[in-house]
Chains A and B, each alone.
Chain A
């Protein structure tokens, strides 16, 4: 009921606006020559002049729905460099593990890009993560992110040959239960780069870090 009333109210407000649209649309439309031989027109001198074809009241986006118009796969990132931190790593596409966590390359020297999310340059957050360390491989380059200052230059190369340049905006250490994953993996908003690793205190019983380090970087020209 409430929505019905709201609809009527809106309709009442809209009607004049739409009418104005229609009128301006009609006057702007090119007049097409009318068939002059129409007998009903010639018989009655009082007949109004034939109206031009109507113009649409609004502009609705229309696309060709053929399969040829499918969006091509985005260019995947292949390399990340942060010269001031002596970081130069291969980036591989990654999905999910068996329990729905992001599945990272086992080697902390290899960074993983969340392949279901935005590619570099696309709208939203491009998420690249790496293990901070490993029992097998030792300490990884992303361990150096925790102390990186704002403005740190970050370069991400994609497999289309484009190099995307970013400036570090913030480094946040958040306790694992509180990490806002929906925001970390946000696919909307302006293009940005989000780097994730582990950090903070380590629980030597469960062998897990208690926090995630989340770095946000914004594109620079």
Chain B
């Protein structure tokens, strides 16, 4: 699901101005979002040589762009660079397949160097009542555990890997700790794992620079619907009633009432007998 981009590959980098526009969204287009996880660096993002994201701030999420399937060259430059000729990250080639959903993440590698990773987002349908939680380690930090309510639910997650969980819908108190420990380096923070949604959490920033943070992306519309609504059991509203339902019901409840009176009377009689015995 994950593809680490070799930042050295610049093959056929600046092609032409092609297809970077949501206006022409068509059946079979790929969706591409971009998450910026490099602290302290405002950037511009060029797709196929065309400026696509201007003054893109750390911690921001852009998109999704709807792109015809194909390979796109993405270059990330310092903000307000004149063009994509001297990128800070990339250029990298992103191969986008028809109908798929991706997030390209500009982030720090575990050792702290800026890099980029293309993740494929899981958009498969969820059962009714369930949500999906995706956690992506894109921070300059060693392996981590992810804890929900203080209990590890994901262990030994390394940069730039991801881990997916399917959960009953809930708001979880999430924290991130060095693997094998429970002392948070991020959080705890409430994360709403909503029904029918892929909630993607990015652990980004730098442990050494003390600026680790969580970023959030949600992909909605992955829900299923209940299979039925059973909403009756007595036939009282039926259009094919054999007898008048009101009479039946009154008869039934009268019987219950009568039974109740008899039981109550019996109990009272017994209590009286017992107290007399004392």
Which residues of B60-74 are within 8 A (CB) of A?
60-63, 65, 68-70
Could you tell me the distance between the alpha carbons of A116 and B227 in the complex, rounded to whole angstroms?
Answer: 14
Cβ contact within 8 Å between B230 and A208: yes
Chain A residue total in the interface (Cβ 8 A): 71
Cβ contact within 8 Å between B51 and A57: yes
Cβ contact within 8 Å between B216 and A67: yes
Query: Smallest CB-CB separation from A62: which chain B residue?
Result: B62
Cβ contact within 8 Å between B237 and A198: yes
Q: Contacts A64-B59, A209-B231 hold; do A53 and B52 have CB atoms under 8 A apart?
A: no
Question: How many whole Å from A220's CB to the nearest CB in chain B?
Answer: 25
Main secondary structure on B side of the interface with A: loop
Hey, which chain B residues are within 8 Å of A58, CB to CB? Answer: 20-23, 52, 65
Query: Smallest CB-CB separation from B47: which chain A residue?
Result: A57
Binding stretch for chain B, among A41-49, A76-84, A133-141: A133-141
Cβ contact within 8 Å between A202 and B238: yes
Give the interface centre of B57, B59, B61, B83 by most chain A CB atoms within 10 Å: B61
Hey, which chain B residues are within 8 Å of A138, CB to CB? Answer: 234, 236, 249, 253
Cβ contact within 8 Å between B245 and A139: yes
Mark A1-30 against chain B: 1 for CB-CB distance below 8 A, else 0.
Answer: 001101100110011011100100000000
Main secondary structure on A side of the interface with B: mixed
Binding stretch for chain A, among B110-118, B146-154, B185-193: B185-193
Hey, which chain A residues are within 8 Å of B129, CB to CB? Answer: 95-96, 116
B229 interface neighbour in A65, A67, A134, A196, Cβ under 8 Å: A196
Question: How many whole Å from B65's CB to the nearest CB in chain A?
Answer: 6
Q: Contacts A6-B68, A19-B17, A209-B231 hold; do A55 and B54 have CB atoms under 8 A apart?
A: yes
Query: Smallest CB-CB separation from B235: which chain A residue?
Result: A202
A116 interface neighbour in B26, B196, B253, Cβ under 8 Å: B196
Hey, which chain B residues are within 8 Å of A208, CB to CB? Answer: 230, 232-233
Could you tell me the distance between the alpha carbons of A69 and B245 in the complex, rounded to whole angstroms?
Answer: 54
Cβ contact within 8 Å between A14 and B21: yes
Q: Contacts A14-B18, A204-B235 hold; do A104 and B229 have CB atoms under 8 A apart?
A: yes
Task: Check if A192 is an interface residue, CB within 8 A of chain B.
Answer: no
Query: Smallest CB-CB separation from B234: which chain A residue?
Result: A133
Hey, which chain A residues are within 8 Å of B249, CB to CB? Answer: 138-139
Task: Check if B145 is an interface residue, CB within 8 A of chain A.
Answer: no
Hey, which chain B residues are within 8 Å of A19, CB to CB? Answer: 17
Cβ contact within 8 Å between B63 and A181: no
Hey, which chain A residues are within 8 Å of B278, CB to CB? Answer: none
Mark B214-233 against chain A: 1 for CB-CB distance below 8 A, else 0.
Answer: 11110001010111111111
Hey, which chain A residues are within 8 Å of B16, CB to CB? Answer: 11, 15
Could you tell me the distance between the alpha carbons of A67 and B192 in the complex, rounded to whole angstroms?
Answer: 9
Hey, which chain B residues are within 8 Å of A181, CB to CB? Answer: 225-228
Which residues of A109-139 are within 8 A (CB) of B?
114, 116, 129-135, 138-139
Could you tell me the distance between the alpha carbons of A3 and B26 in the complex, rounded to whole angstroms?
Answer: 11
Could you tell me the distance between the alpha carbons of A65 and B61 in the complex, rounded to whole angstroms?
Answer: 6
Query: Smallest CB-CB separation from A69: which chain B residue?
Result: B216
Mark B188-207 against chain A: 1 for CB-CB distance below 8 A, else 0.
Answer: 01111011100000100000
Task: Check if B19 is an interface residue, CB within 8 A of chain A.
Answer: yes
Q: Contacts A3-B98, A133-B236, A138-B249 hold; do A56 and B228 have CB atoms under 8 A apart?
A: no
Q: Contacts A62-B56, A65-B35 hold; do A200 and B17 have CB atoms under 8 A apart?
A: no
Cβ contact within 8 Å between B223 and A201: no
Mark A153-184 against chain B: 1 for CB-CB distance below 8 A, else 0.
Answer: 00000000000000000000000100101101
Provide a sorted-by-A list of 30 A–B residue pairs whose CB atoms are within 8 angstroms.
A3-B28, A7-B18, A10-B68, A11-B19, A14-B17, A14-B24, A17-B21, A55-B54, A57-B21, A58-B20, A58-B65, A65-B59, A65-B202, A65-B215, A67-B191, A129-B231, A130-B231, A131-B231, A132-B237, A133-B234, A133-B237, A135-B233, A138-B253, A196-B229, A197-B231, A197-B232, A198-B229, A199-B232, A208-B232, A212-B229
- The 5 A-B pairs with the shortest beta carbon distances in the complex, nearest first, are A202-B238, A198-B232, A202-B235, A185-B225, A133-B236
